[in-house]
Structure 1
Amino acid sequence: MKQNRLSLNDVEWGEFKIKDIFEVYLSKGDNKADLLDCGNIPLISSGFNSNGITKFINRGDGISEIIPKNTITVDMFGKAFYQDFDYYAVSHGRINILSPLYNLNKNHLLFCINSIDNATKNIFSYNRMCSSSRLSKLKILLPVCNKGNPNWQFMEDYIKQEQKDIAQKVIDYYEQKMLETSFDLVGLEDVEWKEFNFNDVFRKIQRGKRLKKDDHIDGNTPYISSTSLNNGLDGFIGNYENLRKFNNNITLANSGSVGSCFYHEYEYIASDHVTSLTLDKADKYIYLFMATIVKRLEEKYSFNREINDKRIKNEKFILPTDKNGEPNWAYMSKFMQKIEAENLQKVLEYIYIYKLAISYEKKLLPLHKKEWKEFWLEDIVDIESGKDIYERERIDGNIPYVTATAQNNGIGYFVNNINKTLEEKAISVNRNGSVGYAFYHDYKALYGNDTRKLIPKYKNKYSSLFLTTVITKQKEKYGYGYKMGTGRLKRQKILLPINELGNIDFAYMKKYMQIGEIKEEYKILDYYYKLLN
């Protein structure tokens, strides 16, 4: 029997003073901690990002004792974070430490954090900082049991429920991401690729038929619409007239979650927001392969640019080919069967890809054995200035606006402004602020004047990511008195691996970064899959 989901509306709530649940004291951390060398102990300061961690340092002489894990930090503005590791906290950041008076675990404290953030919201600032005395007197709302005490069991169960939901979403995302990365790395690079029109590959391209929500009749036939969730399933209906049924093919969302693509092994009814794509004599594995390739259209289209019937038929994609230059259906099917067979044997998804990535890594020459050579940065990228969007000009939206921060991939804000700096598949380099940090942006973004926009002449995500690492290595040369401006960037020399002809080995850079990405994705999947069990 399916267990009912816990809801915050299903429990009684009560007010509790923070000092009745936690011992509250101000960090006595020495400011010299900022000067310590890099290490593995988190240093906590004021900030809304990265769990309050500004850097990782070594244990240093003369620095006050390390604060134990399983505590909560609250900075001068009232922002709370749970700390799962022993850490330092700087005194100039005015970090308040909340140490539980009872035997509370991680899940209990994670629940408390949200209540603390709600209690401190908009009441602390530079003019009225969050001191330990003020924090102690604050009241927070917590679920209560029938005796009026904090309902710690409910809090733990609720956090576990939410963690499982998040874990599943992360797993779904990284499974797909790992699979797409593997297409460039694992096996598929050993065959020739060729560009095809949709109209030349799919035997039948047909949009579904409009069926208003009010006209739906309850039934057992899947109704596929433009949602990106549940394999495109938007419910089950029992309608029989004035509709279009399909079976054993894939659907592409024309609007809504544009570009979402799913395989359907069963009979279904398609809405007019999706287009059904049918191949000639294709098995399940070929469709699964094609769905992943077609899904890449998500990067091209959006809510502002839907995929109409004409665009779909004229859309192009590349596929592996056989010796006659035709789509290599047998190869696609075999590849997907390998992946699925391995999934049946292992609990952790896509371990097959991970193992193959490791085998590729063994064949790849290590960085220290590779030959390297100096290159002028201007010979590799085109360098352009950014343009500031001042606070009074900013319109809230969903377009990333890249500023001179070292956090969040350089994104400072999300706006709805448009200017000439709009670019995708570009690298940003901070010329001011956190000088020298470089980030790759695979999406359309705007760039502030404290950054420089670098447009790679060789366009590839992974070689561009390699470049960002190499460029960031130069940041120690720069600072507020010596900015990383356009002129200096152009004449900046960087070391890059070369091939036997003495040219930049972009293929090597690409492979190296792909392998690294798959290894990291495997770690993430491993961690989150354990949360589900």
Structure 2
Amino acid sequence: MNQLNNDRYWKEFKLPDLEINSYGTPTLHLRQVEAASEIDPGCETINYITRGKFNNGVKLRVIKKPNFNIIPKNTISFGGETGEFFYQREPYVTGRDVYYIDTSKLTENEALFLLTIVRKKLHTQSTFNTIMTASIVNNTPFQLPVNEQNKPDWQYMGLYINELRQRALEKLNIINNINIQPTSINSQNWENFKFTELFTVNNSTNVLRREVDFGSGSMPYITSSSMNNGVVSYIDASNLPVDEGNCLLIGGKTYSISYQRQNFVSNDSHNLIIRLKPEYKQYATENVYLFLASIFRAYSYYYNWANAVNKNKLKSSTLHLPTTQKGVPDWQYMNQFIDQKKSQVKDKIEAFGKI
């Protein structure tokens, strides 16, 4: 069962037809929860799910409190503005504009099959201007495989996901058994540097989506998304303002960090461009910028929608960087470190390609 059986009959259903429904969730704002790492680790904790695209929607682990309205385990959470769907094995609480599909009567594999069907149908329909709601999900028809009784073939769906998981585990085990020595970071000589000592920061261009034609050319159109290095499409930029590449780009609304190798057009997300100052131009290589990207990313906990990054905040910040014995940034070390990481990743990719 390497692929879906195209000879199998599929039928259209809505979730309520399956005695499955989507619901809204009580909102817990970030200020109303306490991160589990900040107090006694012996306290009972619970996952705090938000609209994010990563980490299965888990923003952080928080202290469980008696007044929490808890969403049951074995359900599918989804973000109203992001359209991201995640299966939750544990009970959880949620942030703003998060909903869930009650799949608690299904097995995990059956729920995962349903999740992929729902996500494929609805993911592109959810934006910050068009919020996905429980009502929309409940009233959207989906195609599911059916058995001889013309009912959803949950057994087939469960077996299909189980086979996919087994194949994925086999490949992961092969990759994990590749003997690659880990890269160690020299933490002996690091010092703080003021942002303004090393970098410049400027606003990117500001081109609205309605001004571009997706797929019309070869120029990257960059947003504040953390996916695909921020690239949502390649466009014809003949008559558009273009930003010069070889720089770091910070999403002003999301604090996503990306390295942009080539020239690009930016959308209207208040993105910020960071470059090494002219006196450090000789060190402005891809490897150095990739190392710096990881350093900037380490400060992501500080910025969020309520505390968005901007030029003034960056200019007043400091960064912890490796240094030489003379107390200046060790650009050579940064370059060599990334070179080694690239080599390790290349080895794993080549090994994966042979599977």
* Same fold by TM-score greater than 0.5: yes
How big is each residue's C-alpha offset from its partner over 1:127-185, in whole Å with a ceiling of 9 and x where there is no partner?
896335x65565432111223232234324544566688889x98xxxxxxxxxxxxxx
Is 2:214 the partner of 1:396?
A: yes
Matches within 5 A, 1:443-458: 444-448=263-267, 450-456=270-276, 457=281, 458=283
Distance 1:491 1:17 in 2: 53
Alignment-derived partner of residue 289 in structure 2: 464
1:149 is paired with a residue of what secondary structure? coil
Shift of residue 464, structure 1, vs aligned partner: 1.9
Is 2:256 the partner of 1:429?
A: no
Is 2:45 the partner of 1:43?
A: no
Alignment length (residue pairs): 334
Contact 2:85–2:119 (CA under 8 A) maintained in structure 1: no
CA RMSD of aligned residues (A): 4.6
Alignment-derived partner of residue 23 in structure 2: 26
1:351 is paired with a residue of what secondary structure? coil
Name the amino acid aligned to 1:155: M
Shift of residue 500, structure 1, vs aligned partner: 1.4
Distance 2:70 2:231 in 1: 32
Distance 1:128 1:25 in 2: 14
Shift of residue 55, structure 1, vs aligned partner: 1.6
Alignment-derived partner of residue 42 in structure 2: none
Matches within 5 A, 1:94-493: 94-102=98-106, 104-106=107-109, 108-117=110-119, 130-131=133-134, 135-136=137-138, 139-159=141-161, 347-348=174-175, 351-352=178-179, 354=180, 356=181, 358=182, 361=184, 365=186, 367=187, 370-397=188-215, 399-405=219-225, 407-408=226-227, 411=230, 413-418=232-237, 419=240, 421-430=242-251, 432-434=252-254, 437-442=256-261, 444-448=263-267, 450-456=270-276, 457=281, 458-472=283-297, 476=302, 484-485=310-311, 489=314, 492-493=317-318
Change (3 A) 1:78 1:138: farther
- The match for 2:332 among 504, 507, 516 is 507
Is 2:64 the partner of 1:60?
A: yes
Shift of residue 379, structure 1, vs aligned partner: 4.6
Contact 2:248–2:273 (CA under 8 A) maintained in structure 1: yes
Distance 1:91 1:489 in 2: 27
Change (3 A) 1:516 1:29: farther
Shift of residue 396, structure 1, vs aligned partner: 0.3
Name the amino acid aligned to 1:428: L
Change (3 A) 1:376 1:518: same
Alignment-derived partner of residue 86 in structure 2: 82
Alignment-derived partner of residue 12 in structure 2: 15
Of structures 1 and 2, the one with the larger relative CO (CA 8 A, separation 6+) is 2
1:468 is paired with a residue of what secondary structure? helix
Distance 1:78 1:464 in 2: 29
Distance 2:212 2:298 in 1: 32
Distance 1:60 1:508 in 2: 44
Change (3 A) 1:477 1:148: closer
Give the TM-score, by structure 1 length: 0.50
Shift of residue 518, structure 1, vs aligned partner: 7.6
Distance 1:350 1:51 in 2: 24
Name the amino acid aligned to 1:131: A
Is 2:72 the partner of 1:72?
A: no
Contact 2:205–2:243 (CA under 8 A) maintained in structure 1: no
Name stretches of at least 5 consecutive residues in structure 1 with no aligned partner. Answer: 172-345
Change (3 A) 1:161 1:428: same
Distance 2:54 2:263 in 1: 24
Distance 2:3 2:304 in 1: 52
Name the amino acid aligned to 1:88: Y
How big is each residue's C-alpha offset from its partner over 1:380-435, in whole Å with a ceiling of 9 and x where there is no partner?
34544311111221220364333345x326626324042553444320134x423x
1:463 is paired with a residue of what secondary structure? helix
Change (3 A) 1:498 1:156: same
Change (3 A) 1:165 1:444: farther
Distance 1:46 1:443 in 2: 31
Change (3 A) 1:162 1:389: farther
Change (3 A) 1:445 1:59: farther
1:111 is paired with a residue of what secondary structure? helix
Distance 2:13 2:82 in 1: 17
Distance 2:58 2:32 in 1: 12
Shift of residue 100, structure 1, vs aligned partner: 3.8
Distance 2:303 2:75 in 1: 38
Change (3 A) 1:42 1:504: same
Name stretches of at least 5 consecutive residues in structure 2 with no aligned partner. Answer: 37-44
Distance 2:348 2:47 in 1: 21
